[in-house]
């Protein structure tokens, strides 16, 4: 993944994005335990190459995570509980799965802690991030890759009105699919923030 560079007019960290039930914001030190739990979770990492060893997760959660533009944390508005993480990055040209040979497409990733699955949280939080991206970034579209076996992720992308490009390729020893969604004003993101 290549780092996301923001145009001069866009600030990081951004103002927290408030949705009906969630706060989507840059990571802070108090997110560390939630981050480590998520990266070491067998369930959450099932389609993401498996759980990280604890030492690796601790390292990943101690570093610049969240201070790099595009790395969001989701927390519950009422309780403040850690809910998950959403990332925007650039997809390196050397990896398979692209819209154009030069690559570096804006790429979305997401992982929520299993205790918060199937409550519409991912749709609510990702919609807010896409709205932020549509305003802060020059990209006309965003891509997402998911294992074809990951039905929850594919359902989320469909719900968020991503289109399956039909591209299939092998990466991380599994078949992946490439999805794309416009960030242009014609496709309303506002409606997506409604809870189910
Ligand atoms: C994928 C993931 C983020 C979905 O989070 P979520 O909060 O449960 O999703 P939502 O509740 O917002 O649901 C979004 C849509 O997905 C559907 N969905 C969610 N989990 C599902 C499942 N296990 N099976 C089938 N559909 C599922 C919902 O029904 C909803 O679709 P609908 O509007 O048609 O009903 C979550 O399962 C997760 O974190 N998984 C592990 C990380 C991962 O695999 N990330 C993919 C990286 S590319």
For the full predicted model, state whether its pTM sits above 0.85: yes
> Is residue 92 in some structural domain?
yes
- Three-class secondary structure of residue 167 per DSSP: strand
Q: Is 44 in the pocket of ligand 1 (CB under 6 A)?
A: yes
pLDDT (mean) for 90-106: 93
> Is residue 122 in some structural domain?
yes
| Terminal-to-terminal C-alpha distance of the chain | 32
> Is residue 66 in some structural domain?
yes
- Please give the tally of structural domains in the chain: 1
Q: In the numeric block, which tokens belong to residue 76?
A: 């519950």
Query: Residue 88 and residue 106: Cα distance in Å, rounded?
Result: 7
Q: Is 61 in the pocket of ligand 1 (CB under 6 A)?
A: no
Establish how many alpha carbons lie within 13 A of residue 108's alpha carbon, considering only the half-sphere containing its beta carbon.
Answer: 30
Helix (H) or strand (E) holding 146: strand 141-147
Q: Is 178 in the pocket of ligand 1 (CB under 6 A)?
A: no
Q: Is 65 in the pocket of ligand 1 (CB under 6 A)?
A: no
Query: Using CA positions, which residue lies closest to atom 15 of ligand 1?
Result: 156
> Is residue 175 in some structural domain?
yes
> Is residue 173 in some structural domain?
yes
| 22-26: strand order across its sheet | 17-18, 22-26, 71-76, 82-91, 105-112, 141-147, 174-182, 163-171
What's the CA-to-centroid distance between 42 and ligand 1, angstroms? 16
The predicted-structure confidence for 155-181, as pLDDT tens digits, reads as follows 999 999 999 999 999 998 999 999 999
Query: Using CA positions, which residue lies closest to atom 10 of ligand 1?
Result: 120
What's the CA-to-centroid distance between 9 and ligand 1, angstroms? 33
> Is residue 87 in some structural domain?
yes
The predicted-structure confidence for 76-93, as pLDDT tens digits, reads as follows 999 999 999 999 999 999
> Is residue 108 in some structural domain?
yes
Report the CATH number at residue 104. Answer: 3.40.630.30
Query: Residue 169 and residue 151: Cα distance in Å, rounded?
Result: 17
Residue 51 belongs to domain spanning = 17-193
């Amino acid at each position: 993944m290549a780092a996301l560079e923001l145009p001069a007019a866009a600030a990081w960290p951004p103002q927290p994005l408030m949705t009906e039930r969630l706060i989507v914001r840059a990571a802070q030190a108090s997110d560390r335990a939630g981050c480590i739990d998520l990266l070491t979770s067998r369930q959450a990492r099932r389609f993401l190459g498996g759980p990280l060893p604890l030492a690796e997760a601790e390292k990943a959660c101690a570093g610049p995570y969240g201070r790099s533009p595009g790395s969001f944390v989701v927390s519950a508005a009422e309780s403040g509980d850690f809910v998950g993480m959403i990332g925007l990055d650039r997809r390196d040209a050397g990896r398979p799965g692209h819209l154009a040979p030069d690559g570096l497409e804006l790429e979305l990733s997401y992982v929520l802690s299993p205790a918060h699955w199937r409550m519409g949280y991912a749709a609510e939080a990702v919609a807010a991030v896409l709205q932020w991206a549509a305003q802060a970034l020059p990209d006309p579209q965003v891509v997402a890759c998911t294992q074809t076996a990951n039905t929850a992720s594919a359902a989320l992308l469909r719900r968020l009105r991503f289109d399956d490009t039909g591209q299939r390729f092998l990466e991380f020893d599994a078949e992946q699919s490439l999805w794309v969604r416009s960030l242009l004003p014609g496709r309303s993101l506002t409606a997506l923030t409604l809870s189910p």
